[in-house]
Homo-oligomer: A and B are copies of this chain.
Amino acid sequence: VNFGDKLAEAVGRRGTAACVGIDPQLDKIPGLDLRAGLEERAERVRRFSLEVVEAVAGIVAVIKPQSAFFEQLGAPGLAALAEVVGAARQAGLIVLLDGKRGDIGSTAEAYAAAQLDEGGPIGADAVTVSPYLGPESLAPYERRLQQGKGIFVLVRTSNPGAAPWQLETGVAERVADWVASRCPGPGWGPVGAVVGATLPAEEVARWRAAMPRSWLLVPGFGAQGAGPDDIRAHFGPDGLGALVSSSREVLYAPGAQPDRDVRQAIRARATTFAAAVRPDAYRAR
């Protein structure tokens, strides 16, 4: 099964383009003692992340765990990540692991195996990848597309410093051409692109047109500043093709006390987020 079609089916079924990012920032997790050892902090992160999975399953189609926040807890953190990924897939969620790896040769192959392979240590459905090292760096991921896996290649992010290096040089355009070449249509292809939420609409429209059959992963919704109108140009005419990610605004209530019922609070916030990015609302009329 092609990952792009699988994603289209799942987003259509759930009726939302929302993807919940699992970014367990240690200083924001209720009840986490920052002075505790790695094992203890990892255990708290594991429990919190599993609460998130249970809370959002049935509301969104996709979760996006951020590898860095688990890696900072060393081996117990990585064990927690593996468990969270397994639990999420068990719950019917598509798991997009955000790791932005990029290397070549046997090293790139090891990263792809580590993150995507069934029977491997993590076994995610899809990953984010960084293209700096050139098309060869994407080859081991390409080989896994036939197994139903997906990738989202960094193309254009919306942090201020990204423009001089990604946009002005034209490297983003070359990477976008590569992404598009892997998604000839007619359905949605398995190679997507990261395109920031807070870019000018005209620029987003150019990326949308350059990669017409690729999913765009849109980080930066909610807490990071983009609202429902900012991401209109990321969607295709069928109301699909954009996967909108939010983490902090769903996981942590701004300024709130530690939740007495974390799962219920996250579910409420995820429901609000999911309703804000319904494919219906983005379909061309």
A-side residues, CB < 8 A to B, are 23, 25, 38, 66, 68-69, 71-79, 82, 98, 100-108, 110-111, 113-114, 120-122, 130-137, 154, 157, 159-166, 169-171, 174-175
Question: CA A25 – CA B113 in complex, angstroms?
Answer: 12
A75-B82, A165-B174 are known contacts. Are A102 and B104 too (CB-CB below 8 A)? no
Question: CA A131 – CA B102 in complex, angstroms?
Answer: 11
This chain: copies in complex: 2
Contact A171 B165 (CB under 8 A): yes
Known: A74-B82, A137-B161. 14 other contacts (CB 8 A): A23-B106, A25-B106, A68-B101, A71-B110, A71-B111, A78-B78, A100-B103, A130-B133, A132-B166, A133-B161, A134-B162, A134-B163, A135-B161, A166-B171
Contact B171 A107 (CB under 8 A): no
Contact B121 A66 (CB under 8 A): no
**What are 18 inter-chain pairs, A to B, with CB distance below 8 A?**
A25-B106, A25-B110, A68-B101, A68-B108, A71-B110, A71-B111, A74-B79, A75-B75, A75-B82, A75-B121, A98-B107, A100-B101, A132-B165, A134-B157, A136-B160, A136-B161, A166-B171, A169-B174
Question: CA A82 – CA B280 in complex, angstroms?
Answer: 49
5 cross-chain pairs, A with B, having the tightest CB-CB distances, nearest first: A74-B121, A134-B161, A68-B110, A75-B79, A72-B114
